[in-house]
């Protein structure tokens, strides 16, 4: 069981009434992500409060009305999933930093520099975020933030979102291993030839084009045929 001094408040409001729990912040975040947690470790106290910091308990009738149950585990799941966590400054900083790395990874994967036809390095994207003073929200999905941030990045970086169609023919000698690797990407079509070679048509984000071509070249020792057919905006 988490100690009271280490617990944070999880708060949910229903019809103007507050329902609060004292929880372990790390386990609360795990539960919020859909993971299984030990509720004995999660909760500092098996009570639902009106004001947790003052120790004012919420009435049982209001708890039953709001959640339809008196099961503290089910109540905790609802409060943590739909409510807000009163995290410490340090906890929020760590979450924002982790989210920023996810956003940068998404941008580097899906966007590229149209002037060089190469992806922007992560450090360049991170420096641009700092220059633009972009706010990262710790609980908003990274892909949603990345889509919004890309529009801001265009103010100071040459950046474009494209997908490339790439046709690859792999000699029979390497076809088996290449097939497993190529299935890590989005395959639109594949054909096994009578001689054992493999022809694959893929669609890849711009930021992964160079990586894909390099991986295919290394795996086949440069014997694969690679053609960029077109790119879709």
The 10s digit of each residue's pLDDT in 87-126 is 778 878 888 998 999 999 999 888 888 888 788 899 999 9
Beta strand 186-192 with 84-85 is unpaired
Q: pLDDT tens across 32-63, in order?
A: 888 899 999 999 999 999 999 899 999 999 99
- Euclidean distance between CA atoms 143 and 111, whole angstroms: 13
Residue 79 has phi, psi (to 5 degrees) of: -65, -45
Higher pLDDT, 212 or 139: 212
Q: Do the beta carbons of residue 91 and residue 25 sit within 8 Å?
A: yes
Helix axes 72-82, 25-32, angle to 10 degrees: 80
**pTM exceeds 0.75:** no
Residue 215 buriedness (CB in 10 A; 0-12 / 13-18 / 19+): middle
Question: What number of helices (H) and strands (E) belong to the chain?
Answer: 9, 11
Nearest to 57 by CA among 15, 30, 112, 17: 17
């Amino acid at each position: 069981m988490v100690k009271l001094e280490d617990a944070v408040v999880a708060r949910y409001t229903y019809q103007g009434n507050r329902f609060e729990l004292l929880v372990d912040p790390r386990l609360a975040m795990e539960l919020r992500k859909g993971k299984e947690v030990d509720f004995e470790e999660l909760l500092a106290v098996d009570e639902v409060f009106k004001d947790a910091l003052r120790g004012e308990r919420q009435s049982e009738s209001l708890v039953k009305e709001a959640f339809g149950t008196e099961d503290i585990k089910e109540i905790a799941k609802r409060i943590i999933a739909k409510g807000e966590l009163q995290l410490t400054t340090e906890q929020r900083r760590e979450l924002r930093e982790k989210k920023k790395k996810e956003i940068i990874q998404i941008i580097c994967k899906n966007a590229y520099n149209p002037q060089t036809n190469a992806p922007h390095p992560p450090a360049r994207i991170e420096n641009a975020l700092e220059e633009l003073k972009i706010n990262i929200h710790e609980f908003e999905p990274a892909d949603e933030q990345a889509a919004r941030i890309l529009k801001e990045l265009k103010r100071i970086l040459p950046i474009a979102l494209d997908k490339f169609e790439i046709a690859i023919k792999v000699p029979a000698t390497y076809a088996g291993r290449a097939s497993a690797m190529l299935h890590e990407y989005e395959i639109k079509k594949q054909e096994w030839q009578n001689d054992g070679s493999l022809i694959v048509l893929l669609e890849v984000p711009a930021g992964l084009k160079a990586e894909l071509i390099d991986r295919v070249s290394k795996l086949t020792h440069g014997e694969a045929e690679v053609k960029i057919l077109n790119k879709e905006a």
